[in-house]
C-alpha cells in the first residue's frame, strides 16, 4: 500500500506530518519551474531561503563571485537582486556553474516546510514525467502545493493531480475502475486527482488562475505560458540540507 497525502498550501504542513515520506514540492508559477530551468541550464545548486534578508546574508557568506541572488516579491525582482523568478532569465550564460540563493513569496517557503521529509523533490509541468518516475517507488508520498499567499492555487493542484493520475493509472478511487488498488489517498489527494481528470493544465487554464492573472498584470504573461510547457526537462531537483541539486536518479 502506498500512502499518499496532499497539502494544498505550504502553511498546512507540520513537521510530524511529513516525517518518513517523500515530499514533492510544487510551485508551478513559478519557483519550481524556475529551479528546474536553472539546474537544466547548468546552475550548481539552489539555496531556498525564507526572506530577502536571509538570502542576502547567505549569498555573502557563500561568496559573491560565483553566487547569484534570485527572487521576487509580488512577482517582480527584489531590488538589488541579480535575477528575479522568471524561468527565461535562467540561461546557461547567466547561471551556468553558479550557486543561486533564492527567496520567493511562496515556493521557497514550501521547500523549508518540507525539510523533515526523508526525500524532497521539486515538481513542475516542465519536469512532470521525470518526477513521476522518480517517486513511483515511494511507500509514503506527500504533495506540498506552495499555494498563493497561504491560499489554494489551481495550477499547483493540477500539477499534483497530473502526477497522481499517472501513478494511479487513471482511477480516482482507492479501489478502482481499472486503476491501481494499492493507493491510500486522503481527501485532498482525491480532489487534485479529480481535477486532473477533467482539466489539462494548459497555458489557457494557467492564465485564468489567480497566480497567472497576477503575473499577467505585472507584464509576465510569457512566464505563465512557458511554465505550462510539459516535460521540457528530464531531470529531478532534490533538496538535502536546504540545498537543491540535480538528483542522481534524475
CATH code (residue 142): 3.90.1560.10
d(CA 177, CA 89): 44
Q: Is residue 101 part of a domain?
A: yes
Is pTM beyond 0.85? Reply is yes
How many other CB atoms sit within 10 Å of the CB of residue 46?
Answer: 29
Mean pLDDT over 30-39 rounds to 99
The answer to whether residues 30 and 87 touch, using CB atoms and an 8 Å cutoff, is yes
Over residues 135-181, the pLDDT tens digits come to 999 999 999 999 999 999 999 999 999 999 999 885 444 443 446 77
Q: In the structure grid, which three cell numbers stand for residue 187, read together?
A: 481527501
At 123 the three-state DSSP class reads strand
Over residues 62-105, the pLDDT tens digits come to 999 999 999 999 999 999 999 999 999 999 999 999 999 999 99
Q: Is residue 141 part of a domain?
A: yes
Q: Is residue 250 part of a domain?
A: no
Mean pLDDT over 104-125 rounds to 97
Domain that holds residue 87: 2-245
Angle, vertex CA 231, rays to CA 230 and CA 234, nearest 5: 170
Please tell me the predicted confidence (pLDDT) of residue 170: 53
* C-alpha to C-alpha distances, 135 to 73, 132, 159, 184, 221, nearest whole angstrom: 31, 6, 14, 15, 31
Domain tally for the chain? 1
Q: Is residue 205 part of a domain?
A: yes
- Reading phi first (left if > 0) and then psi (alpha if -120 to 50, else beta), residue 177 is in left
Mean pLDDT over 208-237 rounds to 98
Q: Is residue 119 part of a domain?
A: yes
Q: Is residue 186 part of a domain?
A: yes
Q: Is residue 213 part of a domain?
A: yes
The answer to whether residues 118 and 22 touch, using CB atoms and an 8 Å cutoff, is yes
Mean pLDDT over 222-238 rounds to 98
d(CA 3, CA 18): 11
Q: Is residue 133 part of a domain?
A: yes
Amino acid at each position: 500500500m502506498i500512502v499518499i497525502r496532499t497539502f494544498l498550501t505550504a502553511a498546512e504542513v507540520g513537521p510530524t506530518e511529513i516525517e518518513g515520506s517523500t515530499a514533492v514540492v510544487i510551485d508551478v508559477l513559478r519557483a519550481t519551474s524556475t529551479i528546474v530551468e536553472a539546474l537544466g541550464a547548468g546552475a550548481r545548486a539552489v539555496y531556498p531561503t525564507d526572506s530577502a534578508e536571509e538570502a542576502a546574508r547567505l549569498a555573502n557568506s557563500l561568496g559573491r563571485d560565483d553566487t547569484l541572488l534570485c527572487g521576487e516579491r509580488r512577482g517582480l525582482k527584489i531590488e538589488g537582486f541579480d535575477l528575479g523568478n522568471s524561468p527565461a532569465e535562467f540561461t546557461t550564460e547567466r547561471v551556468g556553474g553558479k550557486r543561486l540563493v533564492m527567496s520567493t513569496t511562496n515556493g521557497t517557503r514550501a521547500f523549508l516546510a518540507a525539510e523533515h521529509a526523508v526525500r524532497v523533490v521539486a515538481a513542475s509541468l516542465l519536469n512532470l514525467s521525470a518526477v513521476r518516475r522518480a517517486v513511483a517507488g515511494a511507500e509514503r508520498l506527500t504533495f506540498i502545493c506552495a499555494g498563493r499567499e497561504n491560499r489554494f492555487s489551481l495550477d499547483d493542484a493540477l500539477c499534483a493531480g497530473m502526477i497522481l493520475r499517472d501513478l494511479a493509472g487513471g482511477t480516482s478511487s482507492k479501489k478502482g475502475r481499472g486503476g491501481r488498488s494499492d493507493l491510500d489517498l486522503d481527501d485532498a489527494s482525491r480532489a487534485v486527482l479529480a481535477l486532473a481528470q477533467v482539466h489539462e493544465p494548459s497555458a489557457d487554464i494557467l492564465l485564468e488562475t489567480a497566480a497567472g492573472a497576477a503575473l499577467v498584470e505585472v507584464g509576465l504573461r510569457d512566464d505563465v505560458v512557458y511554465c505550462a510547457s510539459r516535460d521540457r526537462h528530464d531531470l529531478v531537483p532534490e533538496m538535502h540540507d536546504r540545498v537543491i541539486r540535480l538528483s542522481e536518479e534524475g
